[in-house]
Amino acid sequence: MNSTTAAFVSTLTSASTEARGETKAMAIPNSWKGKIDAAATTAWPLDQVEALFNLPFNDLIHQAQSVHREHHDANKVQLSTLLSIKTGGCSEDCGYCPQAARYSTGVENEALMEVADVVAAAKLAKQNGASRFCMGAAWRGPKQRDLDPVLDMVREVKALGLETCCTLGMLKDGQAEQLKSAGLDYYNHNLDTAPTFYGEIVTTRDYQDRLDTLDRVRGSGINVCCGGIVGMGESRQDRAGLIAQLASMEPQPESVPINYLVQVEGTPLYEKMSGPDAINAIDWTEFVRTIAVARITMPRSFVRLSAGRETMNEATQAMCFLAGANSIFYGEKLLTTGNPDVSNDRALFEKLGITPL
Ligand code: SAM
Ligand code: DTB
Ligand code: SF4
């Protein structure tokens, strides 16, 4: 972070102290816009991100909406449709994931889909109004024999006039370049949570593995889609740690999915968050805060209100849009779990005067 941005954030820090009643009411600097611009290319230390989280809710949302309007059309939301092209049976131990082979979640394993079936699903997504089609595979990472048919899928989906996205796990040297040549626009690979909490959620690969794949994606010229999950029992400091990592990437990710944990029976996190020894999941204000802090710290990124919308009411989703979310997963299914009906999303957009990008 450069000195101008640091000065601005230090205003926020003192404002949040003031808001706790220690001094006067918060004053929002008139000249903050230029300073926020600087944030797009500078690091965000953890304490400065925490300071944003600690702001009074109304101040935080006001700032997030102001940043949002500076960089985006406030009434447009981008629509991405997901398809699980290879389902279940995954070797990894991600504590949230219904597709890990080691958990009994009821997900049926399915081999890699035929290219023609993927293209048919993409056509339908386009007809329904999606502009991006995201193909997800339950792999630790693709072997070359897995990647070859995926390259065909990317080529054919791209030819339909859709933006293409893949999430296939960790990439080895040269794989991102092959995806780029096939026409891949975005690669999704999430940091999931803060480095300090990551070991509680996943042990079969580490944070550096995630960062290495993200470097390969960036190096190939593919746009980076990288975010995380909240509501996994992490602290506010961990949520700030995730956002600080994302916002400090140079350049920042073009797309930032913020997922609210979908609690799937059989996963360790279901037991932790819903079982007899349940700890409290975060409430809606904390989720909206996470979206707002992502928006302020990553002003140009598309912030996606991702998994978990099925358990959110319309008012919470509307607050997320107000806080700067400008992308959603659109279609009745995420990968293996549900998502709001297209007709419900259309009705919500109508009520809010939002149109698809
Ligand atoms: N296997 C690849 C990987 O892990 O990168 C790609 C697919 S994986 C399912 C994509 C992302 O979905 C994960 O990184 C995680 O952030 C998100 N995800 C998986 N299960 C979830 C759940 N139950 N709730 C919210 N997000 C979830
Ligand atoms: C992302 O951040 N969320 C999506 C997408 N990237 C691949 C996946 C959500 C998965 C939710 C659980 C499921 O449906 O299996
Ligand atoms: Fe496998 Fe990805 Fe699920 Fe982890 S999140 S278990 S890597 S499918």
- Cα-to-centroid distance, 159 and ligand 1 (Å): 27
Give yes or no for residue 25 having a pLDDT over 60.
no
97 counts as catalytic: yes
Q: What pLDDT score does 5 carry?
A: 40
Nearest CA to ligand 1 atom 3: 169
Q: Give the CA angle between residues 272, 275, 276 to the nearest 5°.
A: 115
Q: Are 74 and 65 in contact (CB under 8 A)?
A: yes
Give yes or no for residue 42 having a pLDDT over 90.
no
90 counts as catalytic: yes
Q: What is the pLDDT of residues 69-101, one digit of tens each?
A: 999 999 999 999 999 999 999 999 999 999 999
Q: What pLDDT score does 275 carry?
A: 63
Which residue in the list 134, 166, 226, 320 is annotated as catalytic? 134
Please report which ligand is nearest the Cα atom of 165: 2
99 close to ligand 3 (CB < 6 Angstrom): yes
In SS3 terms, 46-94 reads as HHHHHHHHCCCHHHHHHHHHHHHHHHCCCCEEEEEEEEEEEECCECCCC
Q: What is the pLDDT of residues 124-158, one digit of tens each?
A: 999 999 999 999 999 999 999 999 999 999 999 99
134 counts as catalytic: yes
94 counts as catalytic: yes
Which residue in the list 210, 216, 295, 304 is annotated as catalytic? 304
Q: What pLDDT score does 279 carry?
A: 63
Query: Tell me, what DSSP letter sits at residue 45?
Result: -
Q: What pLDDT score does 272 carry?
A: 87
- Cα-to-centroid distance, 250 and ligand 2 (Å): 24
330 close to ligand 1 (CB < 6 Angstrom): no
253 close to ligand 2 (CB < 6 Angstrom): no
Q: What's the whole-model pTM score?
A: 0.90
Q: What is the pLDDT of residues 250-273, one digit of tens each?
A: 999 999 999 999 999 999 999 888
Q: What's the rounded mean pLDDT across residues 314-319?
A: 98
Helix and strand numbers, DSSP H then E, in the chain: 14, 10
| Long-range CB pairs of 28-35, under 8 A, 24+ apart, other chains included | 28/59, 28/62, 28/63, 32/8, 32/63, 32/66, 33/66, 33/70, 34/4, 35/4, 35/5, 35/7, 35/8
Q: What is the mean pLDDT of the chain?
A: 90
227 close to ligand 3 (CB < 6 Angstrom): no
- Cα-to-centroid distance, 5 and ligand 2 (Å): 33
226 close to ligand 1 (CB < 6 Angstrom): no
Nearest CA to ligand 3 atom 6: 100
For ligand 3, pick from 84, 92, 104, 335 the residue to mutate: most ligand atoms within 8 Å of CB: 92
262 close to ligand 2 (CB < 6 Angstrom): yes
Which residue in the list 225, 289, 295, 309 is annotated as catalytic? 225
